[in-house]
Chains A and B, each alone.
Chain A
Amino acid sequence: MSFPILPETPDADLVRRAQGGELKAFEALTSRHEQRVFALAMRMLHQEQDAEDVTQQAFLSALEHLDGFRGEASFSTWLLRIASHAALKIIRKRKGLNTVSLEEATEPADSLHAVPHPEFIADWRQSPEHLVEQNEVRRLLDEALARLDAKHRLVFLLRDVEGLSVRETANALDLSEGNVKVRLLRARLQLREDLTRALGDPAQQLVKSHHHPE
């Protein structure tokens, strides 16, 4: 007996059915999440072949370890976790570093004080709704993202693009929540700085370094 798989069938049900040996349930899970995993890998690696490798590895690994998945996290968070670590592995390999781990670069929470102060401050010439349609803006976004450190980029992508919570992002990357917050702030500020230099209205640029009394 086989129940139909509907768009509203929850992931958790599909996981249980796949764990029970139903290939169609696993295929449905793959179809649901493959695009998201691929997009994350592309934004991390900027290279299609590597992104395909990461996507395939992530789903093969999910298939392999499906029985061990107990639903502590959602299936998509679990997958993004696997894909994130696979992407980092490729980045390390590119750099010729085999031993650098995500945790090794841990930033103490008090490094909040060392967060760079915004420099180029100006209103943008256009709203995001207008900008998002433009090809040149897309390239700009990709380039700004590529300039971020991998550890900052990954936190930004999981939290702000994929919509994971701070806690889920921390779990996915084996980081403390404090660490996720610091990295997220750095990523957001650096992207803001880069984008504002390109999209901001120079005529409306505000004083470069301002100090406001209490």
Chain B
Amino acid sequence: MKCEELLAMLNEYVDGTVDPAVCAEFEQHMAGCNPCQVVVDNIRQTITLYKDGQPFAMPVNFRTQLHEVLRQKWKEKHPGGPAN
């Protein structure tokens, strides 16, 4: 496997969806190619950082407004419906 081929398989490898035979080749390449190993580590770390990063908190005032707007719209859509 060449570095370019590894690059093309990167998603599948990182997501754990790569074919076992290809996986073995992939790992064999990384064992002998430190830059590729580091790139794969970096990619995993990148995904982790974004996934585990703090989410943007929704402003409380906006939340109140959103629910009010939705209740209003709901009433328009369900005229005479039970006031639940």
Q: Give the B-binding residues of A (Cβ under 8 A).
A: 2, 21-24, 26-27, 30, 34-36, 38-39, 42-43, 48, 51-52, 55-56, 59-60, 63-64, 112-113, 115, 117-118, 121-124, 127-128, 131-132, 137-138, 141, 145, 156, 160-161, 163, 181, 184-185, 188-189, 191-192, 195-196, 200, 206-207, 210-212, 214
Going nearest first, the 3 A-B pairs with the smallest beta carbon separation are A42-B56, A38-B58, A128-B48
In the complex, whether B82 has a CB less than 8 A from a CB of chain A is yes
Q: Do residues A24 and B84 form an inter-chain contact, with CB atoms below 8 A?
A: yes
A41 and chain B: residue at smallest CB distance = B56
**At the interface, is chain B mostly helix, strand, loop or mixed?**
helix
Q: How far is the CB of B66 from chain A (nearest CB, A)?
A: 6
Between A and B, how many residue pairs show CB distances below 8 Å? 145
Residues of A within 8 A of B46 (CB): 188, 191-192, 195
Most chain A CB neighbours (cut-off 10 Å) among B3, B53, B67, B73: B53
**At the interface, is chain A mostly helix, strand, loop or mixed?**
helix
In the assembled complex, 19 residue pairs joining A and B whose CB atoms fall closer than 8 Å, in A order, are A21-B78, A21-B81, A30-B66, A30-B70, A34-B58, A35-B57, A43-B56, A56-B66, A63-B70, A117-B3, A118-B35, A128-B45, A132-B54, A160-B47, A163-B51, A185-B11, A188-B10, A195-B45, A196-B42
In the complex, whether B20 has a CB less than 8 A from a CB of chain A is no
Q: Indicate which residue in A122, A123, A161, A200 contacts B50 across the interface (CB closer than 8 Å).
A: A161
Q: Do residues B3 and A212 form an inter-chain contact, with CB atoms below 8 A?
A: yes
In the complex, whether B21 has a CB less than 8 A from a CB of chain A is no
B12 and chain A: residue at smallest CB distance = A181
The count of residues in chain B whose C-beta lies closer than 8 Å to any C-beta of chain A is: 50
Residues of B55-84 at the interface with A, using a CB-CB cut-off of 8 Å, are 55-59, 62-63, 65-67, 69-71, 73-74, 77-78, 81-82, 84
